[in-house]
C-alpha cells in the first residue's frame, strides 16, 4: 500500500500562487483601463464615432412644396393665399404638402416645434394613386381657445426621410 505525504516547501520558496494572483489582478486592471479609455473617456471637442452622423438616406424628392395658409380651395386642395404669419385666434392653420407621383402606401409625416422645442407630430399614408396634396391642420375647436404664440418650425418627411421644412409665426 502506497502512502502519500504532503510535501512542505522550505521557507524561502513560497510557490507561484502569490505571483499568479498579482499577474491576474494587473491584467484585470489593464483591461478595465483600456475599456474605459475606448468607450467612456472621449476627448472633449473632438469628433468621435458617436458624434459623427451620416445622412440617413437620400430624400426621394416626392414633396415638392410645403406652405402654411388660413384657407384651402375645396376643389383643388391647394392653399389660398399662403402665409407664414398667423393670429392666436385664427380658427385653423393649414399645412399643405404638394406631392409629385406618390405611390399608394407612402407615409407622409411632420414633426412640429414651438420655439425650438418638440410640440407634436402626425402622419398620413397615401391611400389613392395620383394624390397631389396632403393637408394637416391645427384647429381651435373650443370657444376662447388660442394657438400658442411663438415661432413654429415644421419638418416634413417621406417614409421617415427628411424632405423639407417651413417656419411660421403666431402672434
Per residue in 24-55, pLDDT (tens digit) is 888 888 888 888 777 766 555 555 555 555 65
pLDDT the model gives residue 51: 58
The answer to whether 85 touches 67, Cβ cutoff 8 Å, is no
The answer to whether 93 touches 76, Cβ cutoff 8 Å, is no
Angular region, 45: left φ>0, alpha ψ -120 to 50, beta rest? left
| DSSP state letters, 24-37 | HHHHHHHHHHHHHH
CATH homologous superfamily of domain 63-170?
Answer: Macroglobulin (MG2) domain (2.60.40.1930)
Three-state DSSP at 154 gives: strand
Boundaries of every domain in the chain = 63-170
Least confident of 20-34, 130-144, 153-167: 20-34
| pTM score above 0.85 | no
Residue 130 pLDDT greater than 60, yes or no: yes
Amino acid at each position: 500500500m502506497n502512502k502519500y505525504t504532503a510535501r512542505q516547501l522550505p521557507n524561502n520558496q513560497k510557490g507561484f500562487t502569490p505571483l499568479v494572483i498579482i499577474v491576474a489582478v494587473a491584467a484585470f486592471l489593464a483591461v478595465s483601463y483600456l475599456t474605459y479609455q475606448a468607450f467612456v473617456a472621449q476627448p472633449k471637442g473632438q469628433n468621435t464615432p458617436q458624434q459623427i452622423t451620416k445622412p440617413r438616406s437620400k430624400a426621394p424628392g416626392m414633396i415638392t412644396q410645403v406652405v402654411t395658409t388660413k384657407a384651402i380651395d375645396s376643389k383643388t386642395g391647394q392653399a389660398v393665399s399662403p402665409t407664414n404669419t398667423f393670429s392666436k385666434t385664427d380658427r385653423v392653420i393649414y399645412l399643405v404638402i404638394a406631392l409629385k407621383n406618390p405611390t399608394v402606401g407612402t407615409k407622409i409625416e411632420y414633426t412640429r416645434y414651438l420655439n425650438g422645442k418638440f410640440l407634436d407630430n402626425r402622419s398620413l399614408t397615401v391611400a389613392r394613386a395620383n394624390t397631389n396634396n396632403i393637408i394637416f391642420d391645427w384647429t381651435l375647436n373650443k370657444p376662447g381657445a388660442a394657438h400658442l404664440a411663438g415661432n413654429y418650425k415644421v419638418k416634413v418627411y417621406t417614409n421617415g426621410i427628411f424632405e423639407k421644412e417651413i417656419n411660421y409665426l403666431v402672434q
